[in-house]
Protein backbone atom coordinates (compact mmCIF):
# COMPACT_ATOMS: atom_id res chain seq x y z
CA UNK A 1 0.00 0.00 0.00
CA UNK A 2 1.42 3.41 -0.82
CA UNK A 3 1.68 6.07 1.88
CA UNK A 4 -1.21 8.13 0.64
CA UNK A 5 -3.53 5.09 0.68
CA UNK A 6 -2.24 4.21 4.12
CA UNK A 7 -2.97 7.71 5.43
CA UNK A 8 -6.41 7.62 3.89
CA UNK A 9 -7.21 4.30 5.53
CA UNK A 10 -5.71 5.33 8.87
CA UNK A 11 -7.30 8.83 8.75
CA UNK A 12 -5.42 9.84 11.87
CA UNK A 13 -1.68 10.45 12.12
CA UNK A 14 -0.35 10.72 15.66
CA UNK A 15 2.79 12.60 16.60
CA UNK A 16 5.51 10.81 18.54
CA UNK A 17 7.82 13.16 20.43
CA UNK A 18 10.45 11.51 22.60
CA UNK A 19 13.91 12.02 24.07
CA UNK A 20 14.47 8.33 24.41
CA UNK A 21 14.23 5.78 21.58
CA UNK A 22 12.83 3.16 23.98
CA UNK A 23 9.96 5.53 24.81
CA UNK A 24 9.34 6.20 21.12
CA UNK A 25 9.20 2.46 20.52
CA UNK A 26 6.79 1.88 23.42
CA UNK A 27 4.62 4.75 22.24
CA UNK A 28 4.52 3.21 18.76
CA UNK A 29 3.50 -0.18 20.11
CA UNK A 30 0.78 1.50 22.16
CA UNK A 31 -0.55 3.42 19.16
CA UNK A 32 -0.52 0.31 16.98
CA UNK A 33 -2.35 -1.62 19.69
CA UNK A 34 -5.08 1.02 19.50
CA UNK A 35 -5.28 0.65 15.72
CA UNK A 36 -3.06 3.50 14.47
CA UNK A 37 -0.22 2.17 12.35
CA UNK A 38 1.23 5.27 10.77
CA UNK A 39 2.84 8.09 12.77
CA UNK A 40 5.16 11.08 12.56
CA UNK A 41 8.26 11.02 14.74
CA UNK A 42 8.82 14.74 15.24
CA UNK A 43 12.18 16.47 15.06
CA UNK A 44 11.77 18.45 18.25
CA UNK A 45 14.22 16.76 20.57
CA UNK A 46 17.97 16.19 20.42
CA UNK A 47 17.41 12.46 19.99
CA UNK A 48 14.61 12.63 17.44
CA UNK A 49 16.74 10.93 14.80
CA UNK A 50 17.55 8.04 17.15
CA UNK A 51 13.85 7.77 17.98
CA UNK A 52 12.93 7.66 14.30
CA UNK A 53 15.58 5.02 13.57
CA UNK A 54 14.35 2.91 16.50
CA UNK A 55 10.69 3.08 15.50
CA UNK A 56 11.47 2.41 11.82
CA UNK A 57 13.76 -0.50 12.70
CA UNK A 58 12.08 -2.08 15.71
CA UNK A 59 8.36 -1.63 15.23
CA UNK A 60 7.36 -3.45 12.06
CA UNK A 61 3.67 -2.74 12.63
CA UNK A 62 4.28 1.02 12.50
CA UNK A 63 4.99 3.04 9.35
CA UNK A 64 7.09 5.95 10.53
CA UNK A 65 7.43 9.33 8.90
CA UNK A 66 9.46 12.29 10.08
CA UNK A 67 7.62 15.36 11.32
CA UNK A 68 8.61 18.95 12.06
CA UNK A 69 11.24 18.68 9.33
CA UNK A 70 12.56 22.20 8.83
CA UNK A 71 15.62 21.80 6.59
CA UNK A 72 16.74 19.77 3.60
CA UNK A 73 19.54 18.36 5.79
CA UNK A 74 16.99 17.08 8.29
CA UNK A 75 14.96 15.62 5.44
CA UNK A 76 18.05 13.76 4.15
CA UNK A 77 18.83 12.43 7.64
CA UNK A 78 15.23 11.39 8.18
CA UNK A 79 15.18 9.43 4.93
CA UNK A 80 18.56 7.84 5.75
CA UNK A 81 17.08 6.70 9.05
CA UNK A 82 13.95 5.00 7.81
CA UNK A 83 11.36 7.76 7.36
CA UNK A 84 8.74 6.73 4.83
CA UNK A 85 7.35 10.25 4.46
CA UNK A 86 8.18 13.82 5.47
CA UNK A 87 5.95 16.36 7.21
CA UNK A 88 6.88 20.02 7.71
CA UNK A 89 5.12 22.83 9.54
CA UNK A 90 5.71 25.11 6.54
CA UNK A 91 6.41 24.94 2.82
CA UNK A 92 10.08 24.88 1.92
CA UNK A 93 11.21 24.20 -1.65
CA UNK A 94 14.46 22.54 -0.58
CA UNK A 95 12.68 20.09 1.74
CA UNK A 96 10.19 19.27 -1.00
CA UNK A 97 13.06 18.77 -3.47
CA UNK A 98 14.80 16.23 -1.21
CA UNK A 99 11.62 14.23 -0.80
CA UNK A 100 10.97 14.29 -4.54
CA UNK A 101 14.54 13.19 -5.32
CA UNK A 102 13.99 10.19 -3.06
CA UNK A 103 10.50 9.58 -4.41
CA UNK A 104 9.02 9.87 -0.92
CA UNK A 105 5.78 11.72 -0.10
CA UNK A 106 6.11 15.11 1.54
CA UNK A 107 3.33 16.98 3.33
CA UNK A 108 4.33 20.60 3.88
CA UNK A 109 2.33 22.87 6.11
CA UNK A 110 0.17 25.45 4.38
CA UNK A 111 -2.33 27.94 5.71
CA UNK A 112 -3.00 30.43 2.91
CA UNK A 113 -4.17 30.13 -0.71
CA UNK A 114 -0.75 31.33 -1.91
CA UNK A 115 0.98 28.56 -0.01
CA UNK A 116 -1.41 25.92 -1.31
CA UNK A 117 -0.93 27.27 -4.84
CA UNK A 118 2.84 27.20 -4.43
CA UNK A 119 2.63 23.57 -3.28
CA UNK A 120 0.37 22.78 -6.23
CA UNK A 121 2.91 24.30 -8.63
CA UNK A 122 5.68 22.24 -7.05
CA UNK A 123 3.67 19.22 -8.15
CA UNK A 124 2.25 18.24 -4.76
CA UNK A 125 -1.22 16.76 -4.45
CA UNK A 126 -1.49 16.75 -0.66
CA UNK A 127 -0.57 19.38 1.92
CA UNK A 128 -0.82 19.73 5.65
CA UNK A 129 -3.22 22.48 6.77
CA UNK A 130 -1.55 24.01 9.80
CA UNK A 131 -2.40 25.21 12.39
CA UNK A 132 -5.84 23.97 11.39
CA UNK A 133 -7.99 25.24 14.24
CA UNK A 134 -6.41 28.70 14.36
CA UNK A 135 -6.22 29.05 10.57
CA UNK A 136 -9.99 29.01 10.30
CA UNK A 137 -10.86 25.38 10.93
CA UNK A 138 -13.37 23.56 8.76
CA UNK A 139 -14.79 26.68 7.01
CA UNK A 140 -11.30 27.76 5.90
CA UNK A 141 -10.50 24.26 4.75
CA UNK A 142 -13.70 24.07 2.71
CA UNK A 143 -12.89 27.42 1.09
CA UNK A 144 -9.41 26.23 0.12
CA UNK A 145 -10.73 22.88 -1.13
CA UNK A 146 -13.34 24.65 -3.28
CA UNK A 147 -10.65 26.32 -5.38
CA UNK A 148 -7.82 23.78 -5.20
CA UNK A 149 -10.08 21.02 -6.40
CA UNK A 150 -7.50 18.29 -6.77
CA UNK A 151 -5.65 19.04 -3.54
CA UNK A 152 -5.97 16.86 -0.47
CA UNK A 153 -5.38 18.21 3.01
CA UNK A 154 -4.07 16.96 6.33
CA UNK A 155 -5.44 19.29 9.00
CA UNK A 156 -3.16 19.38 12.03
CA UNK A 157 -2.91 21.75 14.96
CA UNK A 158 -5.70 21.92 17.48
CA UNK A 159 -7.36 18.75 16.21
CA UNK A 160 -8.71 16.42 18.89
CA UNK A 161 -11.59 14.08 19.71
CA UNK A 162 -14.03 17.03 19.81
CA UNK A 163 -13.46 18.20 16.22
CA UNK A 164 -11.87 15.20 14.48
CA UNK A 165 -15.16 14.07 12.90
CA UNK A 166 -15.83 17.58 11.58
CA UNK A 167 -12.48 17.73 9.82
CA UNK A 168 -12.73 14.18 8.48
CA UNK A 169 -16.17 14.83 7.06
CA UNK A 170 -14.67 17.28 4.55
CA UNK A 171 -14.11 15.17 1.40
CA UNK A 172 -10.78 16.85 0.62
CA UNK A 173 -9.33 15.71 3.94
CA UNK A 174 -7.03 12.73 3.57
CA UNK A 175 -6.26 12.36 7.29
CA UNK A 176 -5.84 14.49 10.41
CA UNK A 177 -2.65 14.77 12.42
CA UNK A 178 -2.11 15.61 16.03
CA UNK A 179 -0.34 15.28 19.33
CA UNK A 180 -3.46 14.64 21.41
CA UNK A 181 -2.94 10.87 20.99
CA UNK A 182 0.40 10.92 22.77
CA UNK A 183 -0.02 13.27 25.75
CA UNK A 184 3.36 14.24 27.20
CA UNK A 185 2.23 13.62 30.79
CA UNK A 186 0.93 10.12 30.08
CA UNK A 187 4.05 9.20 28.11
CA UNK A 188 6.33 10.61 30.83
CA UNK A 189 4.44 8.58 33.44
CA UNK A 190 4.78 5.41 31.36
CA UNK A 191 1.01 5.28 30.99
CA UNK A 192 1.00 3.74 27.53
CA UNK A 193 -2.46 2.28 28.09
CA UNK A 194 -3.71 5.86 27.86
CA UNK A 195 -2.09 6.17 24.43
CA UNK A 196 -3.76 2.96 23.27
CA UNK A 197 -7.10 4.18 24.64
CA UNK A 198 -6.81 7.53 22.81
CA UNK A 199 -5.77 5.78 19.59
CA UNK A 200 -8.75 3.42 19.79
CA UNK A 201 -11.07 6.36 20.45
CA UNK A 202 -9.70 8.19 17.39
CA UNK A 203 -10.10 5.08 15.21
CA UNK A 204 -13.70 4.80 16.33
CA UNK A 205 -14.43 8.49 15.65
CA UNK A 206 -12.81 8.22 12.24
CA UNK A 207 -14.86 5.15 11.34
CA UNK A 208 -18.09 6.88 12.26
CA UNK A 209 -17.11 10.09 10.47
CA UNK A 210 -16.43 8.46 7.15
CA UNK A 211 -18.16 5.13 7.26
C1 LIG B 1 2.33 19.59 14.41
O2 LIG B 1 3.54 19.60 14.47
O3 LIG B 1 1.73 19.08 13.46
C4 LIG B 1 1.55 20.23 15.49
O5 LIG B 1 2.33 20.55 16.59
C6 LIG B 1 0.41 19.41 15.92
O7 LIG B 1 -0.48 20.23 16.60
P8 LIG B 1 -1.19 19.76 17.91
O9 LIG B 1 -0.08 19.61 18.94
O10 LIG B 1 -2.17 20.85 18.25
O11 LIG B 1 -1.85 18.45 17.64
157 Ramachandran zone, left/alpha/beta (phi>0; psi -120 to 50): left
Domains of the chain: 3-204 (3.20.20.70)
Q: Which ligand 1 atom is nearest residue 42's CA? A: 2
Q: How far is the CA of 178 from the centre of ligand 1 (A)?
A: 5
What is the CA(137)–ligand 1 centre distance, in A?
14
Atom of ligand 1 nearest to the CA of 160: 11
Q: 50 alpha carbon to ligand 1 midpoint, in Å?
A: 21
Q: Ligand 1 pocket check: which of 15, 181, 187 to mutate, most ligand atoms within 8 Å of Cβ?
A: 15
Out of 45, 154, 157, 183, give the residue to mutate to test ligand 1, the one with the largest number of ligand atoms within 8 Å of its CB. 157
Q: Cα dist. 142→3, 48, 113, 138, 166 in Å?
A: 24, 34, 12, 6, 11
Tens of pLDDT along the chain (211 residues) come to 799 999 999 999 999 999 999 999 999 999 999 999 999 999 999 999 999 999 999 999 999 999 999 999 999 999 999 999 999 999 999 999 999 999 999 999 999 999 999 999 999 999 999 999 999 999 999 999 999 999 999 999 999 999 999 999 999 999 999 999 999 999 999 999 999 999 999 999 999 997 5
Q: Which atom of ligand 1 is nearest to the CA of 68?
A: 2
CA of 177 to the centre of ligand 1 (A): 7
CB within 8 A of 50, min separation 6: which ones? 21
Burial of residue 8 (number of CB atoms within 10 Å: 0-12, 13-18, 19+): middle
User: How many Cβ atoms are within 10 Å of 67's Cβ, its own excluded?
Assistant: 30
Q: What is the DSSP letter of 133?
A: T
Q: Residue 31 phi/psi, 5° resolution?
A: -65, -45
Nearest CA to ligand 1 atom 11: 178
> Is 128 a residue of the active site?
yes
Give me ligand 1 centre to Cα 180, in Å: 8
Nearest CA to ligand 1 atom 2: 68
Amino acid sequence: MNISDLLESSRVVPLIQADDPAVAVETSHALAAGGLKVAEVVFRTDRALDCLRAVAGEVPEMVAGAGTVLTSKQAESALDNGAKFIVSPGLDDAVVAVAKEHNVPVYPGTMTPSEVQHAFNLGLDTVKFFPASIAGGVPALKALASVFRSMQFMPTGGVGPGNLADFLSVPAVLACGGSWLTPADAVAAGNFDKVTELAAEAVSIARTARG
